[in-house]
Structure 1
Amino acid sequence: MSVIFADILKEDVAGDYRAYVYPLKAAYPYLSDDEWQLLLNQISTESNLLISKGNTSHWDLDESSRQALARGELIINQLYDRDEMAVFARISDTEVIRLSALQVEEPIYLGIFLIQFGVPLGLVALFALGVMLWQQYRLNKLEQTSLQFAQGELNARVPIGWLAVGKINQSFNFMAEKLERMFNSQKHMITAVSHELKTPLFRLQMQLNLIQDEPHSEQTGDYLTQMHLDIEEMDTLVGELLSFSKMERQDRFNDLIQTDVSHWLTYQVKQLARHCHHPIELVLTSKDLSPETLMQAIQTKQLKRALDNLVFNADRFAQNKIRISLFMQENQLCLSVEDDGIGIAEIDRGRIFEPFSRIDSDRNRDTGGFGLGLAIVKEIVRCHGASISVTKSELGGACFMISFET
Structure 2
Amino acid sequence: MNRIFFRFFMLVMLSITAATFVIYFAMSRLFGDPLEDIARRQSSAQIFLIEQYVDAAPADEWLARLNRVREVSGTRFDLIPLPKARSFLPAVDLGALDRGEVVLDVEGKSFYRRVDLKGERYIGSEDDVIHVQDLPIDVSLALQMEAVRYVIVALALLVPIALWSRSHWQGLQSLSRVADEFGAGKLSARAHMQASASIYPLAERIDHMADRIEALLVSQKNLLHSVSHELRTPIARLEFALELLDAKALDPALKKRIAAMEGDVLELNSLVNELLGMARLDSEQALYLDTVDVAALLRSAKAALPPGQPVVGVDATPDAGTVEADARLLGRALSNLLRNAQKYAASTIRMTARREAGRVVLAVEDDGPGIPVEERERIFEPFYRLDRSRDRATGGFGLGLSIARKAVVRHGGSLTVEASELGGARFVVVLPQG
Shorter-chain TM band: 0.5 to 0.7
Give the counterpart of 2:307 among 254, 272, 275. 275
Is residue 377 from structure 1 mapped to residue 404 from structure 2 by the alignment? yes
1:141 Cα shift? 4.2
Q: Which residue number corresponds to residue 108 of structure 1? A: 141
Is residue 212 from structure 1 mapped to residue 243 from structure 2 by the alignment? no
**d(CA) in 2 for partners of 1:225 and 1:107?**
103
**d(CA) in 1 for partners of 2:394 and 2:309?**
13
Structure 1 residues 204 and 362, CA gap change in structure 2 (3 angstroms): closer
Q: Which residue number corresponds to residue 184 of structure 1? A: 218
Matched position secondary structure for 2:220: helix
Q: Deviations over 1:268-313 (max 9, x none)?
A: 43x2577241122222333xx1xxx612223333332222211121
Q: Which residue number corresponds to residue 153 of structure 2? A: 120
**d(CA) in 1 for partners of 2:266 and 2:151?**
83
Matched position secondary structure for 1:173: helix
Q: Which residue number corresponds to residue 237 of structure 1? A: 271
Contact 1:251 1:383 in 2 (8 A): no
Q: Which residue number corresponds to residue 317 of structure 2? A: 285
**d(CA) in 2 for partners of 1:322 and 1:134?**
57
Contact 2:362 2:429 in 1 (8 A): yes
**d(CA) in 1 for partners of 2:366 and 2:270?**
26
Matched position secondary structure for 2:380: coil
Matched position secondary structure for 1:399: strand
**d(CA) in 1 for partners of 2:385 and 2:184?**
22
Q: Which residue number corresponds to residue 374 of structure 2? A: 347
Structure 1 residues 191 and 131, CA gap change in structure 2 (3 angstroms): same
Q: TM-score, normalised by structure 1?
A: 0.66
Contact 2:181 2:189 in 1 (8 A): yes
Q: Which residue number corresponds to residue 7 of structure 2? A: none
1:184 Cα shift? 0.4
Q: Which residue number corresponds to residue 283 of structure 2? A: 249
| Alignment gaps of 5+ in structure 2 | 1-71, 73-108, 110-134
Give the counterpart of 1:260 among 293, 308, 311. 293
Contact 2:295 2:321 in 1 (8 A): yes
Structure 1 residues 123 and 382, CA gap change in structure 2 (3 angstroms): same
1:380 Cα shift? 2.2
Structure 1 residues 136 and 394, CA gap change in structure 2 (3 angstroms): farther
Structure 1 residues 137 and 240, CA gap change in structure 2 (3 angstroms): same
Number of matched pairs: 300
Give the counterpart of 2:362 among 308, 328, 335. 335
Matched position secondary structure for 2:389: coil
Is residue 203 from structure 1 mapped to residue 237 from structure 2 by the alignment? yes
Q: Which amino acid aligns with 1:231?
A: V
Q: Which amino acid aligns with 1:232?
A: L
**d(CA) in 2 for partners of 1:186 and 1:148?**
20
Q: Which residue number corresponds to residue 322 of structure 2? A: 295
Contact 2:310 2:349 in 1 (8 A): yes
Q: Which residue number corresponds to residue 306 of structure 1? A: 333
Q: Which amino acid aligns with 1:263?
A: A
Q: Deviations over 1:84-139 (max 9, x none)?
A: xxxxxxxxxxxxxxxxxx96853433344344454123321343355456545544
Matched position secondary structure for 1:352: helix
Q: Which residue number corresponds to residue 415 of structure 2? A: 388
**d(CA) in 1 for partners of 2:173 and 2:373?**
32
Contact 2:315 2:351 in 1 (8 A): yes
Q: Which amino acid aligns with 2:432?
A: E
1:144 Cα shift? 4.8
Structure 1 residues 387 and 106, CA gap change in structure 2 (3 angstroms): same
Give the counterpart of 1:320 among 334, 347, 351. 347
CA RMSD of aligned residues (A): 2.8
Contact 1:273 1:279 in 2 (8 A): no
Matched position secondary structure for 2:417: strand
Structure 1 residues 106 and 327, CA gap change in structure 2 (3 angstroms): same
Q: Which amino acid aligns with 2:232?
A: K
Q: Which residue number corresponds to residue 227 of structure 1? A: 261
Q: Deviations over 1:158-185 (max 9, x none)?
A: 3523555252221111111101101100
**d(CA) in 2 for partners of 1:163 and 1:343?**
54
Matched position secondary structure for 2:378: coil
Matched position secondary structure for 1:385: coil
Matched position secondary structure for 2:427: strand
**d(CA) in 2 for partners of 1:147 and 1:298?**
22
1:150 Cα shift? 4.0
Q: Which amino acid aligns with 2:408?
A: V
Q: Deviations over 1:58-99 (max 9, x none)?
A: xxxxxxxxxxxxxxxxxxxxxxxxx9xxxxxxxxxxxxxxxx
**d(CA) in 2 for partners of 1:139 and 1:219?**
71
Q: Which residue number corresponds to residue 8 of structure 1? A: none
1:392 Cα shift? 1.7
Q: Is the deviation greater in 315-324 or in 256-265?
A: 256-265
Structure 1 residues 366 and 204, CA gap change in structure 2 (3 angstroms): same
Structure 1 residues 372 and 208, CA gap change in structure 2 (3 angstroms): same
1:151 Cα shift? 4.6
**d(CA) in 2 for partners of 1:299 and 1:365?**
32
1:157 Cα shift? 2.6
